[in-house]
Structure 1
Amino acid sequence: MQQLLDNIAKHVSLTPVEQERVLAFTEIQTYKPKTLLLKEGEVCINSFFVTKGILRSYNIDENGVEHVVSFACPGWWIADMYSFLSQRPGQLYIEVNEEAEVILLSKENRDTLFAEVPKMERFFRILIENSLVANQQRLIDNMSFTAEARYDKFSKKYPDLVHCLPQKQIASYIGVTPEFFSKMKARLLKK
């Protein structure tokens, strides 16, 4: 739980009493690899703070192709934000990539927490703003950069992930097929 408090402390300063309230509204769970925490069509009732392992969110198109939307490593949050905020069925799957320990915060508990510890509303606003900026930059990168440039940027921004994730998931995240990704990496190795 200290990892969660440290994450919050990067953006807002909580008193010991406020920290206790935050912890009272959360729950720790461990999951094995391949566990689906959310399926398309379900309502996302929890946001997940990763303390160990890696989670990923993805969508499956009408041809059965997975499109990775995001990864979450220790210290990161993940949820289907459309579903979580609207409490309507979502479009994403959230899956455990490698054995994970996560802290769950339900929508109901988060809303109650906002009333009891108003600083938490500011904390989540900051996270959502940062996420919006990152998603906008990723969209621009996908429209403007070559696949090689997107992979290079991903590798530099997340060097630890490059070695932990299956190549097909990285390919999906940067928007190319696994076959193209394999050929691209072979070309890069020759340079």
Structure 2
Amino acid sequence: MLNLLYQNISRYIHLSKEEFDQFSKPFQLKSFKKKETVLKEGDYCLFEGFVLNGCFKIYYLNEDGFEQTLYFAIEGWWITDIDSLLNDVPSILNIEALMDSEVLLISKKDKEALYEAMPQIEKLFRIMNQRSSVALQRRILSLTGKTADKRYLEFLEKYPGLEQKLTQQQVASYLGITHEFLSKIRKRILLGK
């Protein structure tokens, strides 16, 4: 279980076994059943989570009450509402398990204590936040500047094999289109047009 977390952070910083033990100690293992809510709009986000297995969708409800999926968090990804966590404001996001899933959660308080005890952890999360900012920027540019067909192909590349585990509505929500339009895109791609 902790091996996946170690592999993830080792991409950014090096920790000895003793340092990793200190780093991982405050994380709490939590299991979520399919459709269980991890964070609900209006609640305060008090955690960051590292996905061990399963899948979560991070979404909000737009003005018309329709779901708009920001991203899916699969094995090795992190989940949180960074605005709520950092600014102590109610969340506008929802985080829901799309299948039975496990995640390692760390509280804001415990993370801050790690920053004090282990300066390299602050570097770790700075790098991760920078990479997250880049990913969100690319997502915004994709949504505003690319056709739905291209966004669908990017989705398939970014999340290989995930489409078979999701409903057509969930994929369409991520792409910012209707599920009917997604059906047309799939047909066009299958026919090679």
Alignment of 1:46 with 2:47, yes or no, is yes
Tell me which residue corresponds to 2:61: 60
Residue identity opposite 1:45 in structure 2: L
Count of aligned positions: 191
CA distance in structure 2 between the aligned counterparts of 1:14 and 1:156, rounded to whole angstroms: 31
CA distance in structure 2 between the aligned counterparts of 1:187 and 1:168, rounded to whole angstroms: 18
Offset at residue 63 of structure 1 (A)? 2.0
Offset at residue 2 of structure 1 (A)? 1.6
Offset at residue 187 of structure 1 (A)? 2.4
Alignment of 1:162 with 2:179, yes or no, is no
Q: Flag as ranges the 4+ runs of structure 1 deviating above 6 A.
A: none
CA distance in structure 2 between the aligned counterparts of 1:56 and 1:157, rounded to whole angstroms: 15
**1:61-119 per-position Cα deviation (integer Å, ceiling 9, x unaligned):** 23220000111111110111111111211100000001101000111111111111111
**1:135-191 per-position Cα deviation (integer Å, ceiling 9, x unaligned):** 111111112111001101111222122222222111111111112112221222222
Alignment of 1:119 with 2:120, yes or no, is yes
Q: Which moved more, 1:45-54 or 1:174-183?
A: 174-183
SS in 2 for 1:160: coil
**1:18-71 per-position Cα deviation (integer Å, ceiling 9, x unaligned):** 111112111001111000010001110011100010011100123220000111
CA distance in structure 2 between the aligned counterparts of 1:50 and 1:157, rounded to whole angstroms: 16
CA distance in structure 2 between the aligned counterparts of 1:60 and 1:157, rounded to whole angstroms: 23
Tell me which residue corresponds to 2:38: 37
Aligned residues with identical type, % of pairs: 37
Tell me which residue corresponds to 1:16: 17
With the length of structure 1 as denominator, give the TM-score of the two structures: 0.96
With the length of structure 2 as denominator, give the TM-score of the two structures: 0.95
Residue identity opposite 1:43 in structure 2: Y
Tell me which residue corresponds to 2:173: 172
Matches within 5 A, 1:75-94: 75-94=76-95
Residue identity opposite 2:181 in structure 1: F
CA distance in structure 1 between the aligned counterparts of 2:158 and 2:34, rounded to whole angstroms: 24
Alignment of 1:142 with 2:143, yes or no, is yes
CA distance in structure 1 between the aligned counterparts of 2:164 and 2:128, rounded to whole angstroms: 26
Tell me which residue corresponds to 2:188: 187
CA distance in structure 2 between the aligned counterparts of 1:67 and 1:10, rounded to whole angstroms: 31
CA distance in structure 1 between the aligned counterparts of 2:40 and 2:8, rounded to whole angstroms: 27
Residue identity opposite 2:45 in structure 1: C
Matches within 5 A, 1:97-136: 97-136=98-137
CA distance in structure 2 between the aligned counterparts of 1:122 and 1:17, rounded to whole angstroms: 18
What is the aligned-residue RMSD (CA, Å)?
A: 1.1
